[in-house]
Amino acid sequence: PRGIPVRLSVGGAADGADTPESADKPARGRLGDWGARAGASALFRGGNVIAHAALSRRARFPALRELYSGALGRFLPNPELGPERMLIGEAGVTMRRGDAELQWVAFQQALRDGIVRVTVATPGGNKFQRVNRDEIRSRGVEVMGSAPLGPLVLGADATLQRVRAVDDGAEQTLEYEPALTG
């Protein structure tokens, strides 16, 4: 719109990793993937209100600990783990009054091949193992605020989200993914 300052940003990344030597563990071939982000923000009311939105993609390769660690006999190694790929969409508003600020951001994420911990029954008892899930979906809203209080700054944030793993079309809840955090 005419007279409203708008800022656009675009970026990209190329990621690569390999583990040709991993002590007594099998070598991994070279892994490669890409990331990108496109965003926009617009200023209103003299810069005291900012509307912002972004779309992004990123990848994360499994760490050696996730691939090979037996973690004191509690984990089964999984050298077949693949990289995670996340698609993120977010939109929000930031409002400022003096030195105080309030921001809310709505988000939706799709983490493909997400690495999660599962329990596996073994002859020696249950053990944990890290595996790739088809997709982990989350959506929610985050609200953050801060305001000066004398010489201190008081700040708070809360996130309300719904997180589900999807494997073969069936949804499951995940441990360690609370609906409300703050």
Answer yes or no: is pLDDT of 1 > 60.
no
CA 62 to CA 20: how far, in whole Å? 15
pLDDT-derived band at 71 (thresholds 50, 70, 90) equals low
DSSP-assigned beta bridge partners for residue 112: 85, 135
CA 71 to CA 55: how far, in whole Å? 37
Answer yes or no: is pLDDT of 24 > 90.
no
Specify the pLDDT at position 72: 67
Answer yes or no: is pLDDT of 54 > 90.
yes
The rounded percent of the chain whose pLDDT value lies above 90 is 53
CA 145 to CA 103: how far, in whole Å? 6
Residue 20 carries which DSSP code?
Answer: S
* Least confident span in 8-17, 18-27, 126-135, 156-165: 18-27
